[in-house]
Structure 1
Amino acid sequence: MTAAPLTEPSQETTTPPDPRLWNKDLAPAKDRRWKVYDIFALWMSDVHNLGNYTFAAGLFVLGLSAWQVFTALLFGFIVIYAGMNLMGRIGQRTGVPFPVVARISFGTFGANLPALIRAVIAIFWYGIQTYLASVAITLLVLAIDPGLKPLTEHGFLGLHALGWICFVALWAVQALILTRGMESVRKFQDWCGPAIWVVMIALAVWILAAGHWNISFTSSPKQLSTGEQIRQWFGAAGLILATYGTLMLNFCDFSRFAPDQKTVKRGNFWGLPINSTAFALLSVIVTAGSMQVFGEAITDPAELLAKVHNTPVLILGALTFAIATMGVNIVANFVSPAYDLANIWPKRITFTIGGMISAVAALCVLPWKLYSSPAVVNYFLGGLGAFLGPLFGIMIVDYYLIRRGKVDVAQLFVDGGSYPRVNPRALVTFFPTAALAAVIALVPYFAPAAPYSWFIGTASSALLYYAVSRKHR
């Protein structure tokens, strides 16, 4: 397929790309093969996972009804849809991945700052997501064959033998897929998202049938005052924004392969407000059904599936959770660091090498130890996550309001060309607004505002960057 125009109106250049800034993976995409369904399937792969299921189910347990969870997350996904379209347009028009897009606002070498922040977050969550899925698979393997229980009695580096087997197996299969490049990523996520839908719908039908099809959409296991319900509702919408702030930042990694903006918008529409909200509602329905059938709200689908006591179903469930983890890891936690690390040393690190570095690093950090430490998850990863909003605000304002969409893509690969090595205005904006977002996200005193840290960071950085940039024009 012929690629769409790679630049907005700009001055053409004949300057050859600098090998310190260019390789074939970072260069503008030539083949634009991603259709509406590919982007829709991307969102299915990203959304259909244990973490999102538990998040939606947890909102129900905290006191929101199924209907309130549905409307809160629908609102959040509509805002996410708008943000994805903004970043998606940049990727589609320029044809370059996130770290190269970041050069527009942060400078050709200054872009390594946002790239490294995004890469570190992704690597840690890559390991944690793989570990969480391996726990679910271990549970199901033991349900299938209780004779394997002795493998859980002895451990190494904090993980028992069966846990190691399940974790390494998942890690290896993902690595195998990832080494084959973005085209393999597209083909894999095209079928893994729908496969998970089939199993989740079957699980919902089973639990609803067991509950005699009598599930309330308006009741909840915990009674809240009207004021508390409103706070929880907005908190849920804010948290889902923070969750997807990671992928919103680097969605250009995927939209760069779309032939036109209409494709990006349609894929986002079906994948975000429609599919994502439907999956969240299904998660809540299954959780509500478990409360009626078993007398308690079971928010872990693996634990629920283990109660089926049917070996073929358990095997199918184990495979499904493995596929779900690979889907979200590939989309949210692999593609980004592969490009981000390639951006640091393009001459030596390709997309594939960057991806393998990420995968090995995710294994070496012993993610089960990280996940068992609230300090690491909340303060380290939570603090880094709070930085993503300010990065998004700076990049969006710079492209749409300061440059009016005019970008010379070729100059993004030239040292000393149209773009500075480091843009001081971006740094002057980023550090104070990132600190503000981190304080709101982490300091207990600001706990009521913590769910909105991503939005506060984005808005404050956007306003400050616009003011600083206009002043120096």
Structure 2
Amino acid sequence: MDLSQREKLKKDLQISEDLLPTKQEERTWKAGNFASIWMGSVHHVPAYASIGGFFVLGLSAIQVFWVIMVAAAILAFVLIINGHAGAKYGIPYSMLLKTSYGIKGAVLPGLLRGCIAAVMWFGLQTYAGSTAVTILISKFWPAYLQLGGDFRFFGIDLPGLISFTIFWMINVLFIFGGINILGKFTKILSLLIYIVFGGMAIWAIKLAGGIGPILDYTAKGIEGNSVLVFMGCVTAILATWAAPITNVSDFTREARTAKDQIIGQSLGIVITYILFAVASISIIVGSEIAFGTPIWNVLDVVDRFDSSFAIILSIVTICLTTLSSNVTANIFPAGYQLAALFPKKLNFQTGGLITAILAFIIMPWKLMENSTSIFTFLGIIGGLLGPVIGVMLADYFIIRKKELNLFELYSEDGQYFYKNGFNPSAYIATVVAGGIALIGQFVPFFKPLYDISWFVGTFTAFGLYIILMKLTKKRFGEIRPH
């Protein structure tokens, strides 16, 4: 898209600059930026807790290691291929979605990922990070924990509310800093991650009496089909990444070249997950050997350190990894999606700020009181995002052969208009694949499908979309409004 076309779109459609393809001279992210961007999304409290669940299922330390590495390899591959369009054309996820779902049809899957899931996770991640802020402040000011006495604001005490507000405001600052600030921030954070979580692993290994006892850890044994359990654990890791996989083009659009995002994401995901595997397994198994009970919460690990400096450094790093995950997986996709929904009224900053405000209004500390319903809801959203990924990949690689017409994409009545602005094939594939992936949650007979729901949803939607598009002859360039 040349300069004259950009200016014409901005004038005729009054579209935000944030939604237009990133100019080549503004694409500054190198492999190192991509290698560091996802580190905060790997090392966070819920991720370590999930590994503890794998041991509960009966997996050994070696089996858990291979679960993590298989998931990491698949994750890196999917991030790279779904990020191809962003690197090639410089377009955000909210615009890429229109090529498969239609100019108007992109609204629903966009809302699902960019708004509903983002707001929920923004609130929950901010609350999780605020608990670390409370611990950090109390280390310097013990009386902080007694502020307000019995005061409660819809279920949260005054110290918790103050900590949440502080951490929320820090997140908001990144909205106005932009994506380039995030790239610089994660480069600094990457060093801290290796120091802190590497240190935790060394501490746990020493507690266990060396690496030998950890490797020799005797699991209780897997009950049922071991292959299905193994793949179910892989699915659990991938499901937590369903949202970032969907909107990865929001980041790859900043890549200098396709090679930068390929090398950067490959090394960043795989190397980070090697450290994560070593640290999580060492901490959980090492603490069980030393204390008789596994420690799944890294904040509990930090609390056992005998050095104030180590405690402070570790808590600060955990806060920063939570912040990085929140900004990467929630703020940016929500900001771009809202800007795409209301291009004449909102830009990225206002969209991100609305997301942050909504995340505060939903009072995530109240949502945490009923974790079963919340995570069931988020699990359903994750199960539906798999099919969205499948549709996007099938459309871009199989139907369109990686060729997009950018000017038509930004036109309100171009070849991506489909039928009345919607692509029925995409919606049918998404709903059917999502139903198949999630039915096991409600019908016990189909539980094996639910256990590997991400794979079922993604591959079913991928194949079904191709079949439907070929049957209806809705190929690239053939659908125009009447």
TM-score after normalising by structure 2? 0.90
Shift of 1:136: 3.4
Report what 1:243 is aligned to. Answer: 240
* Deviation by residue 1:78-131 (Cα, 9 ceiling, x = unmatched): 111221111111111111000100111111222112110102101101110111
Report what 2:469 is aligned to. Answer: 469
Whether contact under 8 Å (1:178, 1:184) holds in the other structure is no
Query: Does 31-40 or 411-420 show the bigger shift?
Result: 411-420
Inter-partner Cα distance in structure 2 for 1:141 and 1:211: 31
Whether contact under 8 Å (1:123, 1:362) holds in the other structure is yes
Inter-partner Cα distance in structure 1 for 2:269 and 2:325: 14
Inter-partner Cα distance in structure 1 for 2:323 and 2:254: 21
Report what 1:65 is aligned to. Answer: 60
1:234 equivalent in alignment to 2:231: yes
Shift of 1:309: 3.9
Judged with a 3 Å threshold, the aligned counterparts in structure 2 of structure 1 residues 442 and 122 are, in CA distance, closer, same or farther, namely: farther
* Deviation by residue 1:345-365 (Cα, 9 ceiling, x = unmatched): 011111111111111111111
* Correspondence for 2:18 among 11, 16, 25: 25
1:83 equivalent in alignment to 2:83: no
* Correspondence for 1:388 among 385, 388, 396: 385
Report what 1:254 is aligned to. Answer: 251
Shift of 1:50: 1.4
Report what 2:117 is aligned to. Answer: 121
Whether contact under 8 Å (1:441, 1:449) holds in the other structure is no
Q: Report the residue type matching 2:131 in the other structure.
A: V
Q: Report the residue type matching 1:423 in the other structure.
A: N
1:16 equivalent in alignment to 2:12: no
Report what 2:455 is aligned to. Answer: 455
Inter-partner Cα distance in structure 2 for 1:13 and 1:167: 45
Report what 1:52 is aligned to. Answer: 47
Shift of 1:20: 5.0
Shift of 1:411: 1.3
* Correspondence for 1:134 among 118, 130, 133: 130
Whether contact under 8 Å (1:242, 1:451) holds in the other structure is no
Judged with a 3 Å threshold, the aligned counterparts in structure 2 of structure 1 residues 227 and 375 are, in CA distance, closer, same or farther, namely: closer
Whether contact under 8 Å (1:56, 1:281) holds in the other structure is no
Report what 2:480 is aligned to. Answer: none
Q: Report the residue type matching 1:123 in the other structure.
A: V
Whether contact under 8 Å (2:133, 2:167) holds in the other structure is no
1:426-445 matches, cutoff 5 A = 426-441=426-441, 443-445=443-445
Judged with a 3 Å threshold, the aligned counterparts in structure 2 of structure 1 residues 107 and 278 are, in CA distance, closer, same or farther, namely: same
Shift of 1:219: 4.2
Judged with a 3 Å threshold, the aligned counterparts in structure 2 of structure 1 residues 373 and 142 are, in CA distance, closer, same or farther, namely: same
1:9-408 matches, cutoff 5 A = 16-17=8-9, 22-30=15-23, 31-119=26-114, 120-142=116-138, 145-151=141-147, 153-220=150-217, 222-225=219-222, 227=224, 229-408=226-405
- Determine helix, strand or coil for the equivalent of 1:398: helix
Corresponding pairs, count = 464
Judged with a 3 Å threshold, the aligned counterparts in structure 2 of structure 1 residues 157 and 269 are, in CA distance, closer, same or farther, namely: same
Whether contact under 8 Å (1:250, 1:336) holds in the other structure is yes
Q: Report the residue type matching 1:352 in the other structure.
A: Q
Gaps in structure 1 of 5+ consecutive residues: 1-5
Gaps in structure 2 of 5+ consecutive residues: 474-482
Whether contact under 8 Å (1:130, 1:170) holds in the other structure is yes
Q: Report the residue type matching 1:136 in the other structure.
A: A
Whether contact under 8 Å (1:103, 1:111) holds in the other structure is yes
Judged with a 3 Å threshold, the aligned counterparts in structure 2 of structure 1 residues 110 and 15 are, in CA distance, closer, same or farther, namely: farther
- Determine helix, strand or coil for the equivalent of 1:355: helix
- Determine helix, strand or coil for the equivalent of 1:404: coil
Inter-partner Cα distance in structure 2 for 1:317 and 1:154: 30
Query: Does 148-157 or 385-394 show the bigger shift?
Result: 148-157
Inter-partner Cα distance in structure 1 for 2:462 and 2:39: 30
* Deviation by residue 1:351-395 (Cα, 9 ceiling, x = unmatched): 111111111111111111112223432332221221101111111
Judged with a 3 Å threshold, the aligned counterparts in structure 2 of structure 1 residues 225 and 93 are, in CA distance, closer, same or farther, namely: closer
The structure, 1 or 2, with the larger RCO (C-alpha pairs under 8 Å, 6+ apart) is: 1
Judged with a 3 Å threshold, the aligned counterparts in structure 2 of structure 1 residues 39 and 214 are, in CA distance, closer, same or farther, namely: closer
Whether contact under 8 Å (1:81, 1:268) holds in the other structure is yes
- Determine helix, strand or coil for the equivalent of 2:18: coil
Runs of 4+ off more than 6 Å: 12-15
Identity among equivalent pairs (%): 30
Whether contact under 8 Å (1:61, 1:221) holds in the other structure is no
Inter-partner Cα distance in structure 2 for 1:171 and 1:14: 35
Inter-partner Cα distance in structure 2 for 1:242 and 1:311: 36
- Determine helix, strand or coil for the equivalent of 1:387: helix
Judged with a 3 Å threshold, the aligned counterparts in structure 2 of structure 1 residues 226 and 218 are, in CA distance, closer, same or farther, namely: farther
Q: Report the residue type matching 2:165 in the other structure.
A: V
- Determine helix, strand or coil for the equivalent of 2:8: coil
* Deviation by residue 1:177-204 (Cα, 9 ceiling, x = unmatched): 2212111121112212331221111222
TM-score after normalising by structure 1? 0.92
Inter-partner Cα distance in structure 2 for 1:27 and 1:441: 40
Q: Report the residue type matching 1:45 in the other structure.
A: G
Whether contact under 8 Å (1:33, 1:257) holds in the other structure is yes
Inter-partner Cα distance in structure 1 for 2:244 and 2:277: 18
Whether contact under 8 Å (1:89, 1:261) holds in the other structure is yes
Judged with a 3 Å threshold, the aligned counterparts in structure 2 of structure 1 residues 15 and 39 are, in CA distance, closer, same or farther, namely: closer
Query: Does 223-232 or 97-106 show the bigger shift?
Result: 223-232
Judged with a 3 Å threshold, the aligned counterparts in structure 2 of structure 1 residues 444 and 330 are, in CA distance, closer, same or farther, namely: farther
Query: Does 287-296 or 348-357 show the bigger shift?
Result: 287-296
Whether contact under 8 Å (2:38, 2:268) holds in the other structure is yes
Whether contact under 8 Å (1:386, 1:438) holds in the other structure is yes
Inter-partner Cα distance in structure 2 for 1:460 and 1:103: 20
Shift of 1:225: 4.3
Judged with a 3 Å threshold, the aligned counterparts in structure 2 of structure 1 residues 226 and 454 are, in CA distance, closer, same or farther, namely: closer
Inter-partner Cα distance in structure 1 for 2:200 and 2:343: 46
